[in-house]
């Protein structure tokens, strides 16, 4: 019954106590091995037939079940048995892989070649028509065994449990990755390549100094409340600096981030962040 056991799923569960896994259950009763003949309770049969991993697996089962010599397969007999199983599978409407039919055709062909009389003169060189099939069966059998051996190896989750220990807090010094400026620029280039049209109209000529100043102005106003417009300008920067700041303020105003307020003509202009004061204050205290 070795072949039958092999035909069932080979994996054996781990754990301290493990029953042999049944091939199938019929009305709750486990079926641990199959009857020798073809009669198998219908429910179990389906499970049994589905357990074959393809035509080679089925053929090996047929050969092993009858203790036949794989090197000298009685091809007519095996072909007939194989066809019985294939017909059964078809009757049960099991999903029959095309490979099963290909194998059926191959068996039929081998059978017919075996029947042909051998020309005496070439007898020595003529390869047995079964040779190729036998090679494939032997090769497949090796890996079928290898799969079982693999399944028997001690395995994480099932047989092997590695230790795990916490590291006390504060000792995980993750060193942040290094970034090269070129990488940054390459990334930006990539964005542009994707958003070519969109950007060409909007970003082209804008000097970065204005962008930087916009951030600076926002930072100065971050405390909330009104600031004198004139305080934003530092005389030391010279004309260019004043222009940059002016452009930054205009841009921020246009984007509705800043609010410019003048009480009357020639009165000092005041600037503040555009947010409801109460909300702004609560936000700032939260941030502080």
Binding to other proteins in span 189-208, by CB under 8 A: 189-195, 198-200, 203-208
Pick the stretch among 13-21, 23-31, 37-45, 83-91 that binds other proteins (CB under 8 A). Answer: 13-21
**Count of all residues that appear for the chain in the document:** 288
Q: Which of residues 250-269 bind other proteins (CB under 8 A)?
A: 252, 255-257
Q: Which of 77, 128, 231, 237: binder of other proteins (CB under 8 A)?
A: 128
Q: Which of 13, 4, 29 is nearest to 21 (CA)?
A: 13
Q: Give, as ranges, the residues between 85 and 104 that touch other proteins (CB under 8 A).
A: 97, 99, 103
Shortest reach from residue 64's CB to other proteins, in Å: 14
Q: Which helix (H) or strand (E) holds 5?
A: helix 2-7
Per rule CB under 8 A, count of chain residues that contact other proteins: 108
Find out whether 33 and 2 touch, Cβ atoms under 8 Å.
Answer: no
**Nearer to other proteins among residue 172 and residue 267 (C-beta):** 172
Name the segment binding other proteins (CB under 8 A); options: 30-38, 84-92, 215-223, 228-236.
215-223
To the nearest 10°, report the CA torsion of 46, 49, 52, 56: -160
Angstrom distances, CA of residue 30 to CA of 7, 22, 41, 42, 44: 16, 5, 12, 14, 10
Smallest gap, in angstroms, from Cβ of residue 88 to other proteins?
A: 18
Sheet holding 269-273, edge to edge: 227-228, 269-273, 258-262
Phi first, then psi, for residue 231 (nearest 5°) are -70, -20
**Residue among 46, 140, 241, 260 that touches other proteins (CB under 8 A):** 140
Q: Who's near 46: CB < 8 A, 6+ residues apart? A: 92, 94
149 lies in the binding site for other proteins (CB under 8 A): yes
Residue from 42, 117, 162, 235 touching other proteins (CB under 8 A): that is 162
Question: Cβ neighbours of residue 5 under 8 Å, at least 6 residues apart?
Answer: 33
Minimum CB–partner distance for residue 264 and other proteins (Å) = 25
Contact range with other proteins by CB under 8 A, out of 28-36, 79-87, 131-139, 232-240? 131-139
According to DSSP, the residues that pair with 25 across neighbouring strands are: 30
232 binds other proteins (CB under 8 A): no
- Using CB under 8 A, which residues numbered 21 to 60 contact other proteins? 51, 53-57
**236 binds other proteins per the rule CB under 8 A:** no
Q: How far is the CB of 221 from other proteins (least distance, A)?
A: 8
Buried b (16+ CB within 10 A) or exposed e, 77-110: ebbebbeebbebbeeeebeeeeebeebbeebeeb
Taking the complex as a whole, the smallest distance from the CB of residue 137 to other proteins amounts, in Å, to 9
Q: Stretches 25-33, 74-82, 210-218, 260-268: which one binds other proteins (CB under 8 A)?
A: 210-218
Locus of tokens 């542009």: 192
């Amino acid at each position: 019954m070795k072949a039958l056991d092999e035909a069932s799923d080979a994996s054996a569960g781990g754990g301290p106590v493990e029953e042999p896994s049944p091939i199938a259950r019929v009305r709750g009763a486990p079926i641990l091995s199959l009857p020798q003949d073809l009669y198998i309770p219908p429910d179990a049969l389906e499970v049994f037939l589905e357990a074959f991993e393809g035509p080679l697996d089925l053929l090996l089962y047929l050969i092993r079940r009858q203790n036949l010599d794989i090197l000298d397969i009685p091809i007519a007999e095996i072909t007939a048995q194989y066809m019985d199983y294939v017909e059964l599978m078809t009757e049960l409407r099991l999903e029959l892989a095309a490979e099963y039919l290909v194998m059926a055709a191959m068996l039929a062909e081998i059978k017919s070649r075996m029947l042909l009389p051998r020309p005496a003169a070439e007898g020595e060189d003529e390869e047995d028509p079964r040779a190729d099939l036998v090679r494939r069966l032997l090769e497949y059998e090796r890996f079928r065994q290898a799969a079982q051996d693999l399944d028997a190896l001690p395995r994480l989750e099932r047989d092997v449990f590695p230790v795990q220990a916490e590291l006390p807090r504060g000792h995980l010094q993750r060193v942040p990755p290094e970034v090269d400026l070129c990488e940054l620029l390459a990334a930006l280039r990539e964005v542009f390549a994707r958003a070519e049209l969109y950007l060409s109209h909007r970003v082209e000529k804008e000097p970065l100094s204005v962008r930087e100043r916009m951030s600076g102005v926002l930072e100065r106003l971050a405390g909330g409340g009104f600031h004198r417009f004139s305080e934003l300008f530092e005389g030391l920067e010279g004309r260019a600096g004043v222009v940059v700041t002016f452009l930054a303020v205009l841009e921020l105003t246009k984007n509705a981030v800043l609010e410019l307020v003048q009480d009357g003509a020639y009165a000092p202009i005041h600037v503040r962040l555009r947010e409801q004061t109460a909300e702004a204050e609560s936000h700032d205290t939260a941030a502080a």
